[in-house]
Amino acid sequence: MAIFKDRHYFRVNLEKKTDESLWMKCKSCGELVFKRRVRENNNICPHCGEYFFLTAQERIESLIDKGSFTDISKPIVASDPLLFQDTKPYPQRIEEAQEKTALASAIIIGSVTIVGIPVVMGVMDFRFIGGSMGAVMGEQICHGMEEAIRRRQPFILVSSSGGARIQEGLFSLLQMAKTAAVRGRLAEEHLPFISIMTYPTTGGVQASIASLGDIIIAEKGAMIGFAGRRVIQNTIAEELPSNYQTDAFALEHGFIDRVVNREDLREELGKVLGFFVEAQ
Amino acid sequence: MSDERTLDLLEAKIKELRELDKTDGINLSTEIARLEKKLEALREELYANLSDWERVKIARHPKRPYSLDYIREVFTDFYELHGDRLAGDDRALLVGLARLDDRPVVLLAQQKGRSTQENKERYFGMTRPQGYRKARRAMSLAERFSFPVISLIDTPGAYPGLESEELNIGGAIAENLLAMANLRVPTIAVVIGEGGSGGALAIGVADRVLMLENAIYSVISPEGAATILWKEKERMKEATAALKLTAPRLLDLKVVDEVIPEPLGGAHKDSHKTASSLKESLLRHLAEVSDIPLKKLLAARYQRYRSLGRYSTLNDQ
């Protein structure tokens, strides 16, 4: 059953802006700040430096060479294989997420250049049901990696996800295996895979594709880990350190290669990619 | 199940009458036969139409056979190998060499504890990073010497705790998924009890995925789903039904290959019989996958996982 009625969400247009409000209040310092300035500053509070969420569209803009984006996502949307209903039917949740984000799913696959280097990039959007990975996200990630193979280009994945999508049950869990299997092909083809973990990269996404990068970079302020603080405290009532699952924790314990400030990510990617491929 | 107690009582009564029949020489055979018939009818009534939630309870039943019970009955010469060569030896995931009939195989087996002490040692069957890395070591061993890999899955999930996180449990699971997807030997996974999310999948990416009839396999526990989606842990029965996590439902959804039948009431009612069904199924599948040339087997495995998942396709104009 198709639960996607209105096709206008499909094919992302970065030029189209929908948010009309002028001001926002910083959740960290409480300062009222001019929204456009925040936006121009990569969604970083110009007053205190707090990072706000980036939508997938904003994330792409912040990383790529201006004007280089083409949406190459597969034209697919979630179906409802389990006919899942919790407090709402699953199709309704999908529709609401599509309304809210103007996206077809929780991920966009794009063909872009970064500092002149052509790459295939997947970017998740946390607003879309917590960036959770169901069959569509799994398929899009695999499609992205296959496009990278076809074009002989590096693959970059920017994760922002709480984990597997509960509403698709075992199908969601198995996306972890699916993405890992296709990641193996990328390795056989000797094409670099750079995984960028942002706030949050947890659960089934951290325990699969996001942790399988040749190089793993965390954005400053990322949350990285498998089981959330609440799960641990409910299951085994263990005291957790204040830096639990922070970028610093992940770096200290050796899960990631580097932590990078948001404003430096694009340049950093250019630098890393330069070791593997030449700019055009 | 409260009705289960009635069954147990009746069973005890029959046993008692049998003793009397034997020792006191009183002829009670008609009475015994009558009660046995009643018992059978009750059993059928109770177990023929198990709800999904009842299956969850059977999957977690404290008397359910665990991996070591099956290892004793299905395999011979189990030779356990310890340690991940890095951080420790997880007692919730056992690995080793064994023979299935005469054929050497590598076993990856998740093990729950029976006693409080044993459960403490085995972290209630929850695998830690040390366990996943030990499993990966065993996979490499299997690949090097062309031993098939057989996984027995039984875990509420990967162990959530500070130590697990410090040892990057998510990364350990991810590496296993990648390793198993490309492992150059035949692989079979059987969910024998609880298939708890990523903690189960980390040894479950196989050429054949089988489930015992009352085993469950899910992206999240019913309690977890109830807490997150319904905001009430007590709604776990609804969550169970919604998640479609039982073996028959997953067979319908074509995500598992076969359901191995259990005796009426569950594997614990007759563990020998369950073990022999498991053995029959393992031998049959192992013979099938071993007959496929490796290149074809790997291509089929890749195709199986590559094509997993359902979605709707739009006309892209």
- Whole-complex ipTM: 0.93
pLDDT band at A40; cut points 50, 70, 90: confident
Per-residue pLDDT at A1 exceeds 80: no
3-state secondary structure of A103: coil
Mean pLDDT of chain A: 91
In this prediction, residue A9 carries a pLDDT of: 60
Q: How many CB pairs under 8 A join A and B?
A: 209
For residues A280 and B144, which has the higher predicted lDDT (pLDDT)?
A: B144
Distance CA A60, CA A122 (A): 9
Which candidate from A139, A166, A177 shows the least CB-CB separation from B201?
Answer: A177
* Distance, CA of B196 to chain centre: 10
pLDDT in tens, chain B (317 residues): 557 788 888 888 888 888 888 887 778 888 888 888 888 888 888 777 899 999 999 999 999 999 999 999 999 999 999 999 999 999 999 999 999 999 999 999 999 999 999 999 999 999 999 999 999 999 999 999 999 999 999 999 999 999 999 999 999 999 999 999 999 999 999 999 999 999 999 999 999 999 999 999 999 999 999 999 999 989 999 999 999 999 999 999 999 999 999 999 999 999 999 999 999 999 999 999 999 999 999 999 999 999 999 999 987 55
Per-residue pLDDT at A177 exceeds 80: yes
Query: What pairing do the DSSP bridges indicate for beta strands B187-196 and B149-155?
Result: parallel
CB B279 within 8 A of CB B212: no
Q: What is the mean pLDDT of residues A177-198?
A: 98
Which candidate from B182, B218, B250 shows the least CB-CB separation from A184?
Answer: B182
Distance CA B49, CA B29 (A): 31
Distance CA B153, CA B200 (A): 6
Which residues of chain B have a CB within 8 Å of the CB of A76?
A: 311-314
Per-residue pLDDT at A190 exceeds 80: yes
Give the helix/strand (H/E) hosting A109. strand A107-114
Which residues of chain A have a CB within 8 Å of the CB of B224?
A: 231
Residues within 8 A of A (CB atoms), B 234-273 only: 238-239, 242-245, 250, 253, 255
Which residues of chain A have a CB within 8 Å of the CB of B170?
A: 202-203, 206-207, 211, 225-226, 255
Write out the DSSP string of A149-201.
HHHT--EEEEEEE-SB-GGGHHHHHHHHHHHHHHHHHHHHTT--EEEEEEEEE
Distance CA B56, CA A166 (A): 18
The correct CATH number of B55-306 out of 3.90.1150.10, 2.30.40.10, 3.40.50.720, 3.90.226.10 is 3.90.226.10
How far apart are the CA of B22 and the nearest CA of chain A, in angstroms? Answer: 51
In this prediction, residue A274 carries a pLDDT of: 95
Per-residue pLDDT at A8 exceeds 70: no
Which residues of chain B have a CB within 8 Å of the CB of A7?
A: 314
Span of A10-19, A100-109, A180-189, B186-195 with lowest mean pLDDT: A10-19
Distance CA B240, CA A82 (A): 12
Domain boundaries, chain B: 2-49, 55-306
Token pair of B148 as six digits: 């098939």
Q: Which amino acid is at B229?
A: L
pLDDT band at A280; cut points 50, 70, 90: low
Query: Inter-axis angle of helices A56-63 and A265-276, to 10 degrees?
Result: 60
Distance CA A208, CA B209 (A): 19
Query: Inter-axis angle of helices B2-23 and B29-47, to 10 degrees?
Result: 160
Which candidate from B170, B181, B217 shows the least CB-CB separation from A181?
Answer: B181
Enumerate long-range contacts of B286-290, CB under 8 Å, 24 or more apart.
B286/B100, B286/B103, B286/B105, B286/B148, B286/B150, B286/B186, B286/B188, B288/B208, B289/B148, B289/B186, B289/B187, B289/B188, B289/B207, B289/B208, B290/B148, B290/B186
Domains of chain A: 20-52 (no CATH), 54-276 (3.90.226.10)
Token pair of B62 as six digits: 């404290």
A132-158: per-residue pLDDT in tens?
A: 999 999 999 999 999 999 999 999 999
In this prediction, residue B293 carries a pLDDT of: 98
Q: Which amino acid is at B78?
A: F
Judged by phi (left if over 0) then psi (alpha if -120 to 50, else beta), residue B21 lies in alpha
CA distances from A36 to A28, A101, A143, B294 (A): 18, 19, 34, 58
Burial grade of A15 (CB within 10 A; 0-12, 13-18, 19 or more): exposed
